[in-house]
Amino acid sequence: MESEEYLQLVRKTFRIWDEADTAEKRGLLVNLITNAAGKRIVSDDILRLFLNWIYAFHEAHFAVIREIHNSPSSTRYDIWVAIYGETIPRDDSADADVFKMLVSDLNIGRVIRLRRDSDLQGRWQRKTPARRAPSRRP
62 and 52 within one domain: no
135 versus 48: the higher-pLDDT residue is: 48
Where does the pLDDT of residue 65 fall: very low under 50, low under 70, confident under 90, or very high at 90 and above? very high
1 has pLDDT over 70: no
Q: Quick check: is 67 in a domain?
A: yes
State pLDDT tens for residues 82-138. Answer: 999 888 888 899 999 999 999 999 998 888 877 777 888 888 888 877 777 777 776
Average pLDDT over residues 11-34: 90
- Say what the pTM is: 0.72
Distance CA 85, CA 90 (A): 14
CA dist., res. 33 & res. 135, Å (int): 61
| 14 in any annotated domain | yes
Same domain as 23, residue 46 = yes
Among 25, 40, 56, residue at a domain's last position: 56
Question: Is residue 44, in this structure, part of any structural domain at all?
Answer: yes
Cα gap 37→33, rounded to integer Å = 6
Same domain? For 49 and 72 the reply is no
- Percentage of the chain surpassing pLDDT 90? 36
Considering the domain architecture, whether residues 10 and 35 belong to the same structural domain is answered as yes
pLDDT at res. 135: 73
106 and 73 in one domain?
Answer: yes
| Domain coverage including residue 25 | 1-56
Q: CB burial class (10 A; 0-12, 13-18, 19+) of residue 91?
A: exposed
Is 63 domain-assigned?
A: yes
**What's the structural domain count of the chain?**
2
Is position 119 within any domain?
A: no
Largest CA distance in the chain: 80
Residue 79 pLDDT? 92
Q: 124 lies in a domain?
A: no
